[in-house]
Structure 1
Amino acid sequence: MRMRTSYVAYEAAPGLTVAGALSTPTEGPPAPAVLICHGSDGVDGRGAFHAAALHEAGIATLEIDMWAARGTNRGAAGRPRSPLETLADAFGALKFLRAQPEIDPARIGIMGFSWGGVVTLLSAVKANAEPYLDGQPGFSAHAAFYPVCWAYDAVPGLGLTGLTGAPILIQTGEADAYDPPGAAQALFERLQVRGEAPVRGVAYPEATHGFDRDLPAQTINDPFAHAGKGGPVLMAFHPQAAQAARKEAVTFFLEALA
């Protein structure tokens, strides 16, 4: 589908203006849309990789830059203290998207990578969402990529109970150094047992954190790595996992936003 890209800005909170790239169909009825939230390293190509496939499927996108809005540096040292601080960015984007004539306001999802993946999951919690919604519905679907699976229900503020009921997709790499072995599967199973929302989890063998980041391999240091002990994390592109995850995300959103 042919898309038009516009560079936009909206007020996420008093004194906080967030900018982003909005891609909408050039013709046809109002389309579903997906908000894309970057990881700690900022906007780095992962959003564009997935947006291209979403556009082919007829889904509009808005990729935002949370760090530029705050004047912070890319990386673990410069980001806010908690993803909870950037929920305003996500829900401000939801309000902005609902006001666009090219977008169907009832069919808006969210996806994100690492930090953005945490935001994606936290936005599925009623207690997190309701203060921003003014009685309107929240996101219709949530797709999180390697969202630091060990942290939920372990770190204060990062609980995943009382969900909105919107479907959730979580995709991770089995070689992700943020998580101990089995952490992703344990999160999948815990959410499925609670039954508060449809949840699908996919873990890719040999894939690291940031497996869909088509850039030279990089080792970062993050205090949240290794189940909160801190330390190095390898981020290496895994072409097979990246393609599979992109296809999985498109299928998920086509079904959830139908």
Structure 2
Amino acid sequence: MMASTLRRVAVLGMAAWALAAYATPGAAHAASGVHAEEIVRFPSLDGDLTGGTPTRLTGRLLRPAGTGPHPSVVLLHGCGGLYAKTGRVAPRHVWWATTLQQQGYEVLMVDSFGPRGVSDLCTAKERPVRASVERKRDAWAALAYLRNRPEVDHGRIALMGWSQGAGTVLAAYGAGEDGPAGGESGGFRAAIAFYPGCKTPLSDEDWQPDGPLLMLVGEKDDWNPPDSCVDLVKRDAVKERTELVVYPNAYHGFDAPDVPVRKRQDLATAPGGAAHFGTNEDARKDAIERVTNFLNERLRAGG
């Protein structure tokens, strides 16, 4: 752990537990026994919003070595979308997806924007694909899709997202009886949210996560300031299931690989239209260890 170099500003709730662009996996994956990436398609559960015709979502599926059944993780992108301007999957998502795959997880990266004709919402003045409306239904659809795959362990599926995708995690994983957690098969086994906006769940006095939740935020985040997440985790019902870590001197996107901190001025989704974004190596290293341990505990050790 990073205790000697990392001053923990806040850890509330439960006790703690390099790639530049994406290309189709090749010789390295073949040598390790993992499967090639698949492009998959499945319907969202947004039919009640679209007049009965659900959005046909796309995803990128990475399977680990072996025949399974594998624990699985659904990854949800932020307001910038799954793809970088180059047309390739953004480096942060590549790094996490391939790392989790190598750790033995089946990974599904969901594209909520492309199928709806949206490329980027960070700079848009309207938000036509909302975390608590369309995107939570996409997350539930990904869960249903994975449960139809024979190589997936249907009871060991986690949800993980960043920024707007992390807000989607809170919406999809805090619906209680109104979501899959209220159904016979149950919902996600665990969830991880990187620097979410917590104002929406904070405004709902009944909100609580459906199960174990790990939230990782930056102390200096001026895009999604962490104060509302700190207040949310002070609630007894939330605290019992949630671990919140606030990293000192860390901005939005602290876990992105090799991104110098810079200030963006064109943001419709940040207070004042501007915010900092970039890597904090101490926070990134600690977050990687925490995510690894959290998923190990919840998806492998029978937590």
* Superposition TM-score, scaled by structure 2 size: 0.74
Equivalence for 1:208: 251
Identify which of 278, 281, 291 aligns with 1:236: 278
SS at match of 1:247: helix
Equivalence for 1:49: 95
Please state how far the C-alpha of 1:254 moved relative to its aligned partner.
1.1
Please state how far the C-alpha of 1:187 moved relative to its aligned partner.
2.5
Deviates more, 1:166-175 or 1:8-17: 8-17
Aligned pair count reads 249
Deviation sequence 1:127-148 (CA, Å, 0-9, x none): 5752797543111111000002
Identify which of 203, 212, 215 aligns with 1:170: 215
Please state how far the C-alpha of 1:125 moved relative to its aligned partner.
1.8
Letter in 2 for 1:34: V
Equivalence for 2:34: 3
Please state how far the C-alpha of 1:82 moved relative to its aligned partner.
2.6
Equivalence for 2:18: none
Deviation sequence 1:26-74 (CA, Å, 0-9, x none): 3143010000000001122222222233223211110111110101121
8 Å Cα contact 1:129-1:138 kept in structure 2: no
Please state how far the C-alpha of 1:176 moved relative to its aligned partner.
0.4
Mapped partners of 2:226, 2:238: distance in 1: 24
Deviates more, 1:175-184 or 1:201-210: 175-184
Letter in 2 for 1:40: C
Mapped partners of 1:212, 1:196: distance in 2: 24
Mapped partners of 1:102, 1:180: distance in 2: 39
Mapped partners of 2:176, 2:226: distance in 1: 30
CA separation of 1:24/1:86 partners in 2, compared to 1, >3 Å: closer, same or farther?
same
Give the structure with higher Rg (CA): 2
8 Å Cα contact 1:122-1:160 kept in structure 2: no
Q: Does 1:30 align with 2:78?
A: no
Instruction: Say which structure, 1 or 2, has more relative contact order (CA 8 Å, 6+ apart).
Output: 2
8 Å Cα contact 1:174-1:181 kept in structure 2: yes
Equivalence for 2:60: 21
Mapped partners of 2:75, 2:214: distance in 1: 14
SS at match of 1:153: helix
Equivalence for 1:82: 130
Deviates more, 1:117-126 or 1:30-39: 117-126
Letter in 2 for 1:20: G
8 Å Cα contact 2:170-2:201 kept in structure 1: no
Which sections of structure 1, spanning at least 5 residues, go unmatched?
Answer: none
Which sections of structure 2, spanning at least 5 residues, go unmatched?
Answer: 1-31, 46-52, 83-89
Q: Does 1:97 align with 2:142?
A: no
Deviates more, 1:232-241 or 1:137-146: 232-241
Deviates more, 1:86-95 or 1:142-151: 142-151
8 Å Cα contact 1:24-1:103 kept in structure 2: no
Higher strand share: 1
* Superposition TM-score, scaled by structure 1 size: 0.86
